[in-house]
Structure 1
Amino acid sequence: MYAYGIDLGTTYSCMARADQDGNIEIIKNIEGKNITPSVVEFISPTEIVVGETAKGDAILAPDNVVLYIKRSMGKQDENREHHGQTFTPEQISAFILKKLISDAEQMTGEKVSDVVITVPAYFGFDERQATENAGKIAGLNVLGIVNEPTAAAIAYGAQQKSKEDKVVLVYDLGGGTFDVTVAEIVGDKVTVVSTEGNHTLGGKDWDAELMSYFVAQFCEKTGVTADEIYEDGDVLNELILKTEDAKKELTSKNSSSFTLSMGRGKRAKLEVTVEKFDEITRHHLMSTLELTKIALKQAATKTSSKGKSCDQFDEIIFVGGSTRMRQVKEAMKKEFGVDPQVFEPDEAVARGAALLAHFLSTDQPQQTTGLGEGQSAADERFSEVTSKSYGVEAQIGNSMMLSHVILKNDAIPCSNTETYGTLAHNQRRVNIVVYESNIMEENTELSFGKRIADGQLDLPAGLPARSPIDVTFSLDRNGMLNITAVERFNGSKCNIIVKTEGLSESEVMTLQAQTSVIKVSDGA
């Protein structure tokens, strides 16, 4: 039985599997395509449609269609209401997964169970846990959650014939997220050096700028107001799809045009040149360049196998459908003097995930893999870093600060310990408040962090002030976090297992039962 890799994308999703020889197969959907739109339409309380039909129906039934649900992952206040029922982002993502699974089972004749699901490198703990929950709700055994650019680098390294050691810059611009990762490829192993990104920046934002330009143009030509357009669901959704088509057309042509109509005889031809498109979206492009420079600055502190700092990369690898925009390639080549290599932008992530799924699902004996003690086949294939810093609230001087125990870009899995002290004599308990942040400094203001968990350590009577407490943070390959606090005097201990707020294992099972009674189809 195969294990599968799933690129659960913001705009499109893709699925692949790998055999024991490392041959990777993209699993087509039942429409015969390699990618499936990550769009869900709620037809009735007991039936939903996922994919091309749902995307097309965004014009006809906008209130029943959900787009870009990936941007809501890990946010408990972004549930959706349809036909009198409430659906969490995890549930909606699970519907997309169920469509992918159903199609794969029909196309291969094999049951799908074991999977690796990819996420943006810049996803935090809540988003990663929500993605794993989505897999569980869909009835899957989630072997791992892996960063998208890491998966792409693994796929790229696997197809290199020369097997030359190199440092690559993976620039991953998808429909709704952006990641940039510096990774070293040595033989068959990919070692991530640094990562940066923004999981709310992607091709969708280029679309939004272009659509605003079309709205202004339509208003000028017809006399309607922008509010009238945005309040007309049918016109708005037609404009969304035509804007996306126009952006795609500009990848090969110097201009694009179409006609948009509203009621009361309002009709106009809308057009845009590639120069204008580049102008109105330049600030988004510049954001990706700035994040790329930050990742390279962080990589400069580490040394490659060739003895050079890791910011001196050999190749730029383009991943993600939005890298097809001409402005992206031109800007990266101008900035860094390297001609980017376009590597299967829609499929690379799923391919790498499939390879990892294969290795995570097989227990290969050490004598056949050449691994060291305690290593797995997957360890031989990749080494990841954390995209976030993690720490606790602590008094530093006279202020309560965020004291980091694990710093962003630390290699994972890892386990780090810091020692703190009690504040007062005979203190009977300590509150362990856990934060994640994007800051790479040892200490920072609490406002720069996000509180993700807390626990309480009970203390014995009579301890003097500043009695030592060891706090250990253990972060596994999937970005899952465990914290242990131990008071040294008599070994009083507190364990904190960080879980997504508001969604327990029992709730996952309840949601799984709810979604199982809803029919998922392609609408054909």
Structure 2
Amino acid sequence: MGDGKRIGIDLGTTYSAAAAVVGDEAEVTPNSEGDYTTPSVASFDEDDGTVIVGREALVRAQTYPDRTVRTIKRHMGDREYTEEIDGEEYTPEQISALLLQKVVSDAEDHLGMDVTNAVITVPAYFGERQRQATKQAGEIAGLTVDRIINEPTAACLAYGLDEEDDDSEIALVYDLGGGTFDVTLVDLAYDIDTVEVVASNGDRQLGGEDWDECLVEWILETFEDDTGIDLSDDPEALGRIYAAAREAKESLSSSSSTRVNIPFLAPNENFEEQLTREEFNDLTSHLVDRTFEVCDELFGQVDYDVGDVETVLLVGGSTRMPLVQERVADYFDQEPSKEIHPDEAVATGAAVQAAIIDRGEGGLGADGQAQELLPGISDGLILVDVTPQSLGVALADGSFDVLIERNESVPATARKESYTTVKDNQTAVKTRVFQGESDVAEENDFLDEFVLEGIAPAPAGEPNLACEFELDENGLLHVEAEDLDRGETSDISIEGIFSRSEAEVEEMRTALPSVE
């Protein structure tokens, strides 16, 4: 993998997109079907073993649900999760790599050149495991992943550091995608060219798919009430019902009512019902409520009030739903900005970041092109993200000792020199690293562990030990333990059990079937 064309990629739960800086504009590249977003769906052909990705795979989900994988992003970072097709098990990284290969191949066809490097986005609340998995999905796909950046940060780059009368602006990114939701408070400092994430909060199990589920349940219940037929365990019928639910949801974003029509849903039985937007809102209002519970939690963590927000940016295709827009306007007492395309903002911002990386290297971002994209910036544009969850170590009593707090600016370094042994003549100490918000270590996400050995035998409590955390700009963690009495150290980069070795990455790349 060489240092070549850099693009930005929004690897989404339900749709993905790629973008690149062409001339002096960042543009989303169309796929081979002419669309600007590609369904994040992979379907394994039953005949030749190839994989179909995108629109056709979404259609195949209706007839081949057991051979089609959707919403794999919800499982990123889960080492135990696999999808089994034809006796072969595929990890979330491998499925995501198949999606990336399709997106990259289409971008190459449009741009007329090879793509070797990418900036890939992740939800702001993604933890260490999910970020590592996303990075390695890119590597399995054959990419050099230059940087992992948060989706709301990318959206702000797409929004741009415009030349404002004020020196700064507090913006809030309300990002409701197909499978995830996050809300992020951002300080856009025009006078010092800084995009700083103040705080972020999210729900990784809330997105447009949940609105689909509500409509699916409505169709199933209505059909059973009318016919007495329960289709909840019929995969082929469910595929058709999900497709009709998505179509109805999208129709109700522009129409006050829609007719849901599924012919021959069961033998000699059709489904045909009128659904109004008001009825749809009643079915799904509890989901919209959940997004504002996340907002309430966010403002409970920071020294800002809702009234301090000067601009609200809507990101994600699910923000097209009128009820969502109405409720956002009510909550923030202002109309959200319409300056950025909700489906394309994240990919566009990632492309801007790619151009910034290129600038000065004779690449696509050279000759002031990035400045054309972001009129207010200088060569010293600074992006400041925050850690989505607290990071720390387990103590001997099982408690969780935090070194880097949630929502601390990244990159971040923290060091504590107050550690010691708990047993007489103890010569080794195990450092167990966790991520989360519980005071009990085991209730948080375990990241990795390592051992500092060679401590001089002494009574418990006498040795002087330290621990240092370094969190880099990609949100990836490095940990070091030090015996202060001897000056000896032991350290790890958090890759361990939740990350794949280079050999594993190569093996998974080799095992990938061909993408059509």
TM normalised by structure 2 equals 0.91
Contact 1:182/1:310 (<8 A) preserved = no
Contact 1:470/1:487 (<8 A) preserved = yes
Q: Indicate the residue corresponding to 1:111 in structure 2.
A: 114
Given candidates 322, 326, 349, the residue that maps to 1:352 is: 349
In structure 1, stretches of 5+ residues that fail to align are: 302-308, 370-375
Q: Indicate the residue corresponding to 2:372 in structure 1.
A: none
Q: What is the alpha-carbon distance in structure 2 between the residues aligned to residue 241 and residue 13 of structure 1?
A: 18
Give the superposition deviation at 1:334: 1.5
Given candidates 147, 150, 155, the residue that maps to 2:150 is: 147
Q: Indicate the residue corresponding to 1:181 in structure 2.
A: 184
Q: What is the alpha-carbon distance in structure 2 between the residues aligned to residue 379 and residue 474 of structure 1?
A: 23
> How do residues 116-195 of structure 1 correspond to structure 2 at under 5 angstroms?
116-158=119-161, 160=162, 162=164, 164=166, 165-187=168-190, 188-195=193-200
Seen in structure 2, the aligned counterparts of structure 1 residues 378 and 470 have a Cα distance that, compared at 3 Å, is farther
Q: What is the alpha-carbon distance in structure 1 between the residues aligned to residue 221 and residue 243 of structure 2?
A: 17
Give the superposition deviation at 1:85: 1.8
Task: Report whether the alignment pairs 1:287 with 2:290.
Answer: yes
Q: What is the alpha-carbon distance in structure 2 between the residues aligned to residue 20 and residue 355 of structure 1?
A: 12
Given candidates 473, 494, 499, the residue that maps to 2:490 is: 494
**SS class of match (2:66):** helix
Contact 1:176/1:204 (<8 A) preserved = yes
Q: What is the alpha-carbon distance in structure 2 between the residues aligned to residue 406 and residue 269 of structure 1?
A: 55
Q: What is the alpha-carbon distance in structure 1 between the residues aligned to residue 54 and residue 117 of structure 2?
A: 23
Give the superposition deviation at 1:25: 1.8
Task: Report whether the alignment pairs 1:73 with 2:76.
Answer: yes
Q: Indicate the residue corresponding to 2:410 in structure 1.
A: 412
Contact 1:299/1:310 (<8 A) preserved = no
Q: Indicate the residue corresponding to 2:371 in structure 1.
A: none
After superposition, the CA RMSD in angstroms is 2.1
> CA offsets per residue over residues 351-401 of structure 1, 9 Å max, x none?
110111122234469xx99xxxxxx98862411111111100014xxx420
Give the superposition deviation at 1:497: 1.6
Contact 2:393/2:441 (<8 A) preserved = no
Given candidates 87, 92, 96, the residue that maps to 1:93 is: 96
What amino acid does structure 2 have at the position aligned with 1:504?
S
Seen in structure 2, the aligned counterparts of structure 1 residues 170 and 57 have a Cα distance that, compared at 3 Å, is same
Contact 2:265/2:271 (<8 A) preserved = no
Count of residue correspondences: 492
Q: Indicate the residue corresponding to 1:465 in structure 2.
A: 460
> How do residues 253-402 of structure 1 correspond to structure 2 at under 5 angstroms?
253-260=255-262, 261-300=264-303, 312-342=308-338, 343-363=340-360, 380-395=381-396, 399-402=397-400
What amino acid does structure 2 have at the position aligned with 1:461?
A
Q: What is the alpha-carbon distance in structure 2 between the residues aligned to residue 46 and residue 133 of structure 1?
A: 23
Contact 2:455/2:483 (<8 A) preserved = no
Give the superposition deviation at 1:161: 5.0
Q: What is the alpha-carbon distance in structure 1 between the residues aligned to residue 184 and residue 464 of structure 2?
A: 38
Q: What is the alpha-carbon distance in structure 2 between the residues aligned to residue 456 and residue 429 of structure 1?
A: 7
Given candidates 220, 229, 232, the residue that maps to 1:230 is: 232
Q: What is the alpha-carbon distance in structure 1 between the residues aligned to residue 271 and residue 251 of structure 2?
A: 19
Q: Indicate the residue corresponding to 1:306 in structure 2.
A: none
Task: Report whether the alignment pairs 1:456 with 2:451.
Answer: yes
Contact 2:157/2:349 (<8 A) preserved = yes
Q: What is the alpha-carbon distance in structure 1 between the residues aligned to residue 181 and residue 149 of structure 2?
A: 15
What amino acid does structure 1 have at the position aligned with 2:490?
C
Give the superposition deviation at 1:311: 6.6
Q: What is the alpha-carbon distance in structure 1 between the residues aligned to residue 290 and residue 443 of structure 2?
A: 20
> CA offsets per residue over residues 119-178 of structure 1, 9 Å max, x none?
1111111111111111001100000111111100111124x3537421101000000010
> CA offsets per residue over residues 392-422 of structure 1, 9 Å max, x none?
0014xxx420111111100000110123221
What amino acid does structure 1 have at the position aligned with 2:503?
S
Give the superposition deviation at 1:489: 0.7
Q: Indicate the residue corresponding to 1:305 in structure 2.
A: none
Seen in structure 2, the aligned counterparts of structure 1 residues 193 and 310 have a Cα distance that, compared at 3 Å, is farther
Q: Which deviates more, 11-20 or 89-98?
A: 11-20
Q: What is the alpha-carbon distance in structure 2 between the residues aligned to residue 77 and residue 243 of structure 1?
A: 31
Q: Which deviates more, 316-325 or 46-55?
A: 46-55
Q: What is the alpha-carbon distance in structure 2 between the residues aligned to residue 20 and residue 476 of structure 1?
A: 31
Give the superposition deviation at 1:491: 1.6
Seen in structure 2, the aligned counterparts of structure 1 residues 130 and 433 have a Cα distance that, compared at 3 Å, is same
Give the superposition deviation at 1:17: 1.0
Q: What is the alpha-carbon distance in structure 1 between the residues aligned to residue 474 and residue 23 of structure 2?
A: 23
Give the superposition deviation at 1:232: 1.5
In structure 2, stretches of 5+ residues that fail to align are: 369-376
Q: Which deviates more, 1-10 or 275-284?
A: 275-284
Q: What is the alpha-carbon distance in structure 2 between the residues aligned to residue 223 and residue 378 of structure 1?
A: 67
TM normalised by structure 1 equals 0.89
Q: What is the alpha-carbon distance in structure 2 between the residues aligned to residue 20 and residue 410 of structure 1?
A: 36
Q: What is the alpha-carbon distance in structure 2 between the residues aligned to residue 163 and residue 29 of structure 1?
A: 39
> How do residues 201-220 of structure 1 correspond to structure 2 at under 5 angstroms?
201-220=206-225
What amino acid does structure 1 have at the position aligned with 2:414?
N
> CA offsets per residue over residues 293-351 of structure 1, 9 Å max, x none?
222232316xxxxxxx7971101110000001111111122222111113210100001
Moved over 4 A (4+): 376-379
Give the superposition deviation at 1:196: 0.4
Q: Percent identity at matched positions? A: 36
Give the superposition deviation at 1:238: 0.3
Seen in structure 2, the aligned counterparts of structure 1 residues 312 and 512 have a Cα distance that, compared at 3 Å, is same
Q: What is the alpha-carbon distance in structure 1 between the residues aligned to residue 244 and residue 267 of structure 2?
A: 21
What amino acid does structure 2 have at the position aligned with 1:205?
D
Q: Which deviates more, 93-102 or 452-461?
A: 452-461
Q: What is the alpha-carbon distance in structure 2 between the residues aligned to residue 472 and residue 175 of structure 1?
A: 38
Q: What is the alpha-carbon distance in structure 2 between the residues aligned to residue 503 and residue 12 of structure 1?
A: 25
> CA offsets per residue over residues 457-492 of structure 1, 9 Å max, x none?
113333332222110011011111110000111123
**SS class of match (1:126):** helix
Given candidates 34, 37, 46, the residue that maps to 1:35 is: 37
**SS class of match (2:515):** strand
